Amino acid sequence: MGSNSSRIGDLPKNEYLKKLSGTESISENDPFWNQLLSFSFPAPTSSSELKLLEEATISVCRSLVENNPRTGNLGALIKVFLSRTKELKLSAECQNHIFIWQTHNALFIICCLLKVFICQMSEEELQLHFTYEEKSPGNYSSDSEDLLEELLCCLMQLITDIPLLDITYEISVEAISTMVVFLSCQLFHKEVLRQSISHKYLMRGPCLPYTSKLVKTLLYNFIRQEKPPPPGAHVFPQQSDGGGLLYGLASGVATGLWTVFTLGGVGSKAAASPELSSPLANQSLLLLLVLANLTDASDAPNPYRQAIMSFKNTQDSSPFPSSIPHAFQINFNSLYTALCEQQTSDQATLLLYTLLHQNSNIRTYMLARTDMENLVLPILEILYHVEERNSHHVYMALIILLILTEDDGFNRSIHEVILKNITWYSERVLTEISLGSLLILVVIRTIQYNMTRTRDKYLHTNCLAALANMSAQFRSLHQYAAQRIISLFSLLSKKHNKVLEQATQSLRGSLSSNDVPLPDYAQDLNVIEEVIRMMLEIINSCLTNSLHHNPNLVYALLYKRDLFEQFRTHPSFQDIMQNIDLVISFFSSRLLQAGAELSVERVLEIIKQGVVALPKDRLKPLADRQVDRVLACQAFVHAASGFSQFHGLSVRFASQDVCTHLSLYINLHRHHHHRYHL
């Protein structure tokens, strides 16, 4: 681009870019490269600026795609970059700003070109562009360098070995972003790739030994949340003619971000894009997620997923089994803190899900924490602000709750954590409430929002599954939480009656007209009755296992006892209604004996006395049943509907749901089977 290229609008006429993309082969030792790499224009900081950059360079990229098979100039550029990276570590130690600046510029151009090549050609054609070797007359050797593999190995070395300093921050971000662009090949295939170039290069060969080191480095980048250096940390003088611009890390923070692919799901609200405090941490997280969710090769498992599944705490001194490859250790306390602080982004929530689901060491550690509210509260905030979140972020939060509520210890401990003044909960002032009761309130609110807005069966099922997992350990439910449980049942009951009435009227109308097709009210009724049954099971489980701990729930039951009358004789609910009917009858009779016009306090006192008097053997527990949490996976698929349609892809700057979408898409095509107990 040269030292005079300071504006994007000048790029189509730039003589250095024309030469790079032209018909003349350029030797890697040509002084031309120093001139090309001495550009200094501000990196794109918005989608509009990115679009301008793409439009300005489209003619150059087309020419390079056409001429590179004959000139091999892309390969020469990569060789220039590879030779420079050999001295990068020394240059960082010696504070050689100019050398690092030019090396970064080389990688920036490579990343831009790689994105264009991946968008416009097949993997076979892409590899041909990276395996060019100039042949002299009479030389029929078929040997050629695989520059793509060398480039990837070099990037992994750069990410893991180059010290993170002010002058190396930007090139580190660009190296990670270039790897993300390389992995974006999946975006242009509807089917899941199992024999792609990513499998060829990243799961075997020279790149494989870097697996654990790369995963560890990316995790620590996420943990540390290193901010870009201040504007004065990386400054190059302007050209005397005014053509050059200040080139600094602050002005180029977004350089590595614009290359990330984004994909919007059908019917999914786009996530807000807050300003990134740490581009390095964000890009590291995205790369980590994509690597972890690569499908296994036909002959080898995904080594990056193996590394994520097996790493241990630095305080764990037990040896790694020899059967576990790519193992390493990391500080779990620092990781836990970072996960708690970063749950506002959907990619951080996806990382939390991945670790809880796949790494038993992490799951055990988190469930043993005495400050679980630091993790659970951000998850509850995601669900509480459901209307502001995209669907897959909400589903991810729900699946995390499902995993946590599988543990009885967690279900007990959350009722022992007392919270003060939950400011983000606006429906009612909660000056003091247990974490368990707050969780119930938020999940019920999510169900009610879904009933009136999105009407998603899978969201219902997963919310109720979390409540069902907790129900046997409900303790000292807040009166408002108890009221909301019964209010939700009331809402479901009204919905059931409405659909039943519609079905009856439709059936009557069909007697006079045989030509009009009937709506499928039977299916609607089955769905509603399934949800009602789950709700009754939750109430029944609480009464059977912890009646004496929940006088507020008994009070709410008695206050709305008429709601349950219609279900006593319903064939679908007779078994589940026995215990509930017994509790209502038993306590109703005791209240009648106490007289009329009782105060709330007096009613609660009678309930507490009655709990002691009620023989426990009269409440018969339901037969335990296990349900495959395959619905959780179905929920993922439902939330990500349309993710497999990769037409109309856009490349946007600094979107916060970037490779999370790609990771989700790949993740959805593997079958995860969780289990929960009802």
Q: What is the pLDDT of residues 308-349, one digit of tens each?
A: 999 999 998 888 887 788 889 999 999 999 999 999 998 999
pLDDT tens sequence across 490-513: 999 998 888 888 888 777 766 555
Instruction: Provide DSSP, 303-368.
Output: HHHHHHHH-EETT--SPPPTT--S--EE-HHHHHHHHHHTTTSHHHHHHHHHHHHH-HHHHHHHHH
Instruction: Please report the pLDDT score of residue 234 as a whole number.
Output: 52
Higher pLDDT among residues 355 and 669, named by residue: 355
Judged by DSSP in three states, 651 sits in: coil
Q: Tell me which residue of 260, 256, 275 sits closest to 173, measured CA to CA.
A: 256
Alpha helix stretches (DSSP H) within 131-232: 147-161, 169-183, 197-202, 211-224
Both tokens assigned to 659: 């490779």
Per mean pLDDT, which of 19-23, 141-145, 269-273 is the most reliable? 19-23
Give the mean pLDDT of 39-49: 71
Neighbours of 45 (CB within 10 A): 17
User: What confidence tens digit (pLDDT) does each residue in 106-157 have?
Assistant: 999 999 888 888 888 888 888 888 875 554 444 444 445 688 899 999 999 9
Instruction: Read off the pLDDT of each residue in 54-78 and give the average, rounded to a whole number.
Output: 89
**Cα distances (angstroms) measured from residue 357 to each of 316, 331, 403:** 20, 19, 7
- Report percent pLDDT > 70 for the chain: 79
> Which of these ranges, 23-32, 167-176, 194-203, 395-404, has the smallest mean pLDDT?
194-203
Q: Choose from 187-196, 450-459, 516-525, 544-553 the range with maximum mean pLDDT.
A: 544-553
Q: Are the C-beta atoms of residues 376 and 397 closer than 8 Å to each other?
A: no
> CB of 222 within 8 A of CB of 284?
yes
Q: Model confidence over 607-665: pLDDT tens digits?
A: 999 988 888 778 887 665 433 333 444 444 344 333 332 222 222 222 333 344 444 43
DSSP state of 262: B
Phi, psi (deg, nearest 5) at residue 330? -150, 160
Identify the CA nearest to 610 among candidates 533, 532, 555, 534.
555
Q: What phi, psi does 651 have (nearest 5°)?
A: -105, 110
C-beta separation of 219 from 281 below 8 A: no
CA separation for the pair 162, 164 (Å, rounded): 6
In this prediction, residues 169-183 reach a mean pLDDT of 92
Range with the poorest average pLDDT among 234-243, 486-495, 513-522: 234-243
What is the spatial distance between Cα 436 and Cα 414, in angstroms, rounded to a whole number?
Answer: 5
SS3 content of the chain, % helix, strand, coil (to 5): 60, 5, 35
For residue 586, name the pLDDT band (cuts at 50, 70, 90).
Answer: very high
Condensed to tens digits (0 to 9), the pLDDT of residues 438-487 reads 999 999 999 988 888 777 777 888 899 999 999 999 999 999 999 999 99
Residue 258 has pLDDT above 50, yes or no: no
Q: How many CB atoms lie within 10 A of CB 275?
A: 6
pLDDT classification of 604: cutoffs 50, 70, 90: very high
* pTM (2 d.p.): 0.84
Residues 6+ apart with CB under 8 A from 504: none
Rg (CA), the chain: 30
CA distance 232 to 324: 46
327's CB contacts (< 8 A; 6+ apart) are 212, 307, 310, 311, 312, 320
> 40-54, 252-266, 413-427 — which is least confidently predicted?
252-266
Q: What number is the average pLDDT over the span 37-55?
A: 75
pLDDT of residue 557: 94
Per DSSP, what are the bridge partners of residue 628?
Answer: 675
- Cα dist from 583 to 554, 564, 633, whole Å: 8, 12, 37
Is residue 326 a contact partner of residue 359, using CB atoms and an 8 Å limit? Answer: no
Question: In this predicted model, what pLDDT tens digit does every residue of 217-233 receive, in sequence order?
Answer: 999 999 999 998 886 55
Whether pLDDT at 429 is above 50: yes
**pLDDT given for residue 634 in this prediction:** 42
471: which DSSP letter?
H
pLDDT for 528: 86
Q: How many CB atoms sit inside 10 A of residue 501's CB?
A: 11
Distance CA 28, CA 68 (A): 14
Closest listed residue to residue 65, CA positions, set 1, 147, 125, 152: 125
DSSP structure string for 191-209:
SPPSSSHHHHHHSSGGGGG
- According to the model, what pLDDT value does residue 123 have? 83
- Mean pLDDT score of the chain, rounded to an integer? 80
Indicate if the pLDDT at residue 241 is higher than 50.
Answer: no
Smallest CA-to-CA distance from 402 within 625, 623, 635, 219 is with 635
Helix (H) or strand (E) holding 30: none
Q: Is the dihedral of CA 653, 656, 659, 661 positive or negative?
A: negative
Phi and psi, residue 37, nearest 5°: -90, 5
pLDDT tier at 8, thresholds 50, 70, 90 = confident
CB 657 within 8 A of CB 650: no
Classified as helix, coil or strand, 273 is: coil
